Structure 1
Amino acid sequence: MRATGTTGARQNGGLNSLGEVACRYRAGEIPPEDLPMIAAEALAAGLDAPTLCELAGWPRTADPRDIREAFEQALCECGIALPDPAVARRHGLRRLAARFVAGELTTADLATDDWWETEAETAEECAFVALIPQCACCVAYTLGLDERQWDAELRVAAAALASASPLAPGC
């Protein structure tokens, strides 16, 4: 990676952003078709790597396997390692909790992915994951709670997780 006449702060911001993208990508939150535009944004933020430049010019409709391979090569060229999938997923769980606390997601939105299967490690993660049902229609059946009680408990658990000590740097 080489600077392209941008300030160090801008370049470091690009690295931080691309590191976050790598974590979200590894957690399955970013589809391959979004990666060419993300590569273009990383270039605009001051990063410069051969495969990043190449990927930025690809269409969204390129073969997803090729996009993934190029993105992972670009990360390598930028000195960014892909995080362990389980760690990336745990970071994703924390982002999910923060978005829920901020009102960006509803309780039904939490049941749209397989978050309930996340391998939680901390007490805060376990409490939050335990309240995420497999589907929104199964709250009472799955958890044995009425919906208002479940919502209240879920908000408390999400707030605790969102304010918990961060995981190791990287995502």
Structure 2
Amino acid sequence: MDRLQDSAWQYVAEVLRPEDLPMIAAHALVDGHDSPALRELAGLPSRSDATEVRELYVQVLSELDVALPDEETAGRRLLVSLAFGLVHGSLSPKEVGDGLSMTVTARTQEEKQFLSVAAEYSEWMEPDDLPAWERELQAAAQLLAASTDLGPGIHVPASRHD
């Protein structure tokens, strides 16, 4: 999946900040995409008006025939990206717990299990409880990564908790 298509589900899942969108547009130009709105968005400073940036981003997707997924699909992709991030070591268990949002959706049994375990995370967990939770989360992530139809082409969104 290319970065621009990847960004569409991340946009709907609300894991992209408006200030991220001009850089995504610049990467899309490098990847070979081109449209008037894309060039305009790529040239905006990262501190541009958020509403303007969002509107321009949606126009870019329209000009390039990249569909915005529905909220359920975007939420499932977010959940799967968190599982893949954990499995591949690019996210820690804590980052997975922190990466959950209101847009996360689970449809399959493996998605529901992973979400259930991930949602148990709390910054107030007892230190003695963390290793067991991390093992259970890792096991659920492995099952989800092995069973999903949303695939390994999903890229892990950048941390929103910078």
Alignment RMSD: 2.4
Q: State the match for 1:155 in structure 2.
A: 138
Q: Could you tell me how far 1:26 is from its partner in structure 2? A: 1.5
Letter in 1 for 2:79: L
- CA shift for structure 1 position 78: 0.2
* Bigger Rg, which one: 1
> 2:45 matched to 1:59?
yes
Please state which structure has a larger fraction of its residues in helix: 1
Gap runs ≥5 in structure 1 = 1-12
Amino acid of the structure 2 residue aligned with 1:150: W
Gaps of 5+ in 2: 155-162
State the Cα distance separating 1:138 from its structure 2 match: 3.9
Aligned equivalent of 2:87, options 75, 84, 101: 101
CA shift digits 1:110-150 (9 cap, x unpaired): 2224348733110010000111236533446xxxx932222
CA-CA distance at 1:22 after TM superposition: 1.0
User: How many positions carry a matched residue from both structures?
Assistant: 152
2:150 corresponds to: 167
Aligned mate of 2:24, from 16, 21, 38: 38
TM-score by length of 2: 0.83
Kindly tell me: are residues 154 and 130 of structure 1, through their superposed partners in 2, closer, same or farther at Cα, counting changes over 3 Å?
same
Separation in structure 1 between the aligned mates of residue 120 and residue 55 of structure 2, nearest angstrom: 32
Equivalent in 99, 113, 129 of residue 146 of structure 1: 129
Secondary structure of the 1:111 match is: helix
| Structure 2 match to 1:6 | none
- Partner residue of 1:77 out of 63, 76, 84: 63
Q: Which has the higher contact order (CA 8 A, sep 6+)?
A: 2
1:158 & 1:99 partners in 2: Cα distance? Answer: 9
**Greater CA drift, 73-82 or 114-123:** 114-123
Letter of the 2:115 counterpart: V
